[in-house]
Amino acid sequence: MPSSRRTVYEALELVRHTGRWPIAFEFAWSGLIFANLVATVLESMPAVVGAYGPALALFHAVSMVLFTVELGVRFWVCTADATDRYVHPLWGRVRYFFSTLTLLDVIAVAPYWLGVTLDLRFARTFRLLRMLYFFGYGDATESLAAVFYNERKALIGALITMMFALFVTSSLMYLIEHPVQPEQFSSILNALWWGLATFATIGYGDITPVTAAGRVLTGIAAVFGIAMFALPAGILASGYASELKRRDFVITWELVARVPVFAKLPASKIADIAGMLRVRQVRAGEVVVRKGDPANSMYFIAEGEVLVDIKPHPIRLRNGEFFGEMGLLERAPRSATVSAARTSRLLVLEAQDLARFLDGNPIVRETLTRATADRLLHQQEVEAMAAAEPEQRAS
């Protein structure tokens, strides 16, 4: 049962790396979500509802059943999450329920089953967020939310500045235009509507100045509005870039810090080696390194599991472990084939980067050399035992 749960989990949550059929299913599922979006638009048109009302209602019912079944399956397999966030059979599922995407999924299907009379058909569009994760933009969406939170003070400051400028400009326009256009600029509130349209450079034209001073003020407000709207855009763009770099660096830093060879290094040294790593995604069954190939890099397992093909019993390496260093230190070809046991994310350290780092850290070189020697000795012992087994059976 756990293996089947893991298989279904990877098909649903890691679909881009699990094979052709899960990808085909996800494309079909995304098509169903998009069709629901189209149906939501059509159901707002009385003429269409009058002609195709029963068909739209049937499509709505079938979609809700399918979405509910999918949601139930996700609850069943969420405990197989590779990060162990939902590993507990009860509290893990409670935590999964309160995750953002799951809550939006529940909002999309719950009104149908609860018989809510309020028209909440638009809630089905929340399922489009699943498509973001399928096409690989899930982390980017989470990062954007983090940017809004991290830059909240700067954004609030920009908003307050904008509101102050809007109020002052609209008040001045009221004083200038009210004597000649008492109906158009009857109050500061009306002038605020003019100010908002001008600052946003929309310029509806329903309220316009006629005096020379009013037109000059309008030009100033339009130019100032461009600067005001560009300010929060710049804050978000800068914060978004910083957040992406920070997330990647933190994940890499934590992984390197868990490796015994680097665990006792100061933070600055860990940061140095973390900056040298690059990410590689591998699918289940994909060969990472092949026996006999030149050794040009070593690997850290950020997420997943790999299989080292050593006779007679392959070795499994999991999160936080590393491989490929033996060939680099011994300056020898790969001694074993390593393949992904399941979909995994690896961090790759190139040979020249490792050599440069070890030259400046002789203690790490000694530790890594000793660990490599222990691994090599263990591998030789295993191979010797495997070679001796036929002789023992014959005797």
Question: Among 329, 324, 314, which residue's Cα sits nearest to residue 366?
Answer: 329
273 and 220 co-located in one domain? no
14 and 81 co-located in one domain? yes
28 and 128 co-located in one domain? yes
Domain boundary among 83, 112, 136: 136
Phi then psi dihedrals of residue 130, to 5 deg? -60, -35
Domain CATH number, residue 374: 2.60.120.10
The count of other CB atoms within 10 Å of the CB of residue 388 is 10
* 322-323, strands of its sheet edge to edge: 278-282, 344-350, 297-303, 322-323
Give the residues of the chain that fall short of pLDDT 50.
1, 17
Domain CATH number, residue 7: 1.20.120
Question: Among 306, 296, 370, 301, which residue's Cα sits nearest to residue 334?
Answer: 296
Listed in sequence order, the DSSP H helices in the chain are 2-13, 20-42, 46-77, 91-97, 100-114, 128-134, 138-150, 152-177, 188-199, 212-258, 267-274, 325-330, 351-359, 362-394
Domain that holds residue 31: 2-136
pLDDT of residue 395: 55
Domain CATH number, residue 183: 1.10.287.70
Kindly state the tokens that stand for 287.
Answer: 């060969």
pLDDT of residue 176: 94
Q: Give yes or no for a contact between 75 and 96, defined as CB atoms under 8 angstroms apart.
A: yes
Domain boundary among 198, 213, 245: 245
pLDDT of residue 323: 85
pLDDT of residue 124: 65
What's the burial of 382, exposed, middle or buried (CB within 10 Å: 0-12/13-18/19+)?
middle
Q: Give yes or no for a contact between 99 and 86, defined as CB atoms under 8 angstroms apart.
A: no
Phi then psi dihedrals of residue 332, to 5 deg? -130, 165
Name the domain count of the chain: 3
* 315-318, strands of its sheet edge to edge: 287-289, 337-340, 305-309, 315-318
| 147 lies in some domain | no
Tell me how far apart the alpha carbons of residues 168 and 242 are, in angstroms, rounded to a whole number.
34
